[in-house]
């Protein structure tokens, strides 16, 4: 009986692991324990989720404000400048953090 275990980092930087067993001939009575490897740090996971949700929020605000300007054509764009700049910088910072 053989145990195959693997742990890799995927293209989007998430660790992926797994294991399976197979036998050649008669299977053995015992199985090997598979070490799952180190667990992800909760602080790292929380920061990753925070940066991802900030990126989603900033992208939605940026696209929404741009669509509003394109469709409604307000005469004064000054009130929209601050949300556009804030969303642009937030999206840049969160993408860099990710």
Q: Is residue 89 part of a domain?
A: yes
Q: Is residue 32 part of a domain?
A: no
Tell me how far the alpha carbon of residue 77 is from its chain's centroid: 34
Q: Is residue 12 part of a domain?
A: no
Tell me how far the alpha carbon of residue 13 is from its chain's centroid: 8
For position 91, what pLDDT does the model report?
A: 94
Q: Is residue 31 part of a domain?
A: no
Query: pLDDT tens for residues 40-97?
Result: 788 888 898 999 999 999 999 999 998 998 899 888 888 888 989 999 999 999 999 8
Buried b / exposed e across 66-78, counting CB within 10 Å, b at 16+? eeeeeeeeeeeee
Query: pLDDT tens for residues 82-95?
Result: 989 999 999 999 99
Report how many domains make up the chain.
Answer: 1
Range of the domain at 88: 42-97
> What is d(CA 83, CA 38) in angstroms, rounded to the nearest whole number?
41
Q: Is residue 5 part of a domain?
A: no
Q: Is residue 49 part of a domain?
A: yes
Contact 91, 84 (CB under 8 A): no
């Amino acid at each position: 009986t053989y145990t195959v275990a693997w742990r890799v980092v995927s293209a989007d930087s998430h660790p992926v692991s797994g294991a399976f067993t197979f036998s050649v001939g008669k299977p053995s009575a015992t199985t090997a324990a598979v070490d799952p490897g180190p667990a992800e740090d909760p602080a790292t996971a929380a920061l990753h989720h925070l940066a991802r949700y900030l990126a989603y929020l900033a992208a939605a605000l940026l696209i929404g404000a741009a669509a509003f300007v394109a469709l409604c054509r307000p005469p004064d764009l000054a009130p929209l400048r601050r949300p556009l700049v804030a969303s642009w910088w937030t999206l840049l910072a969160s993408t860099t953090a990710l």
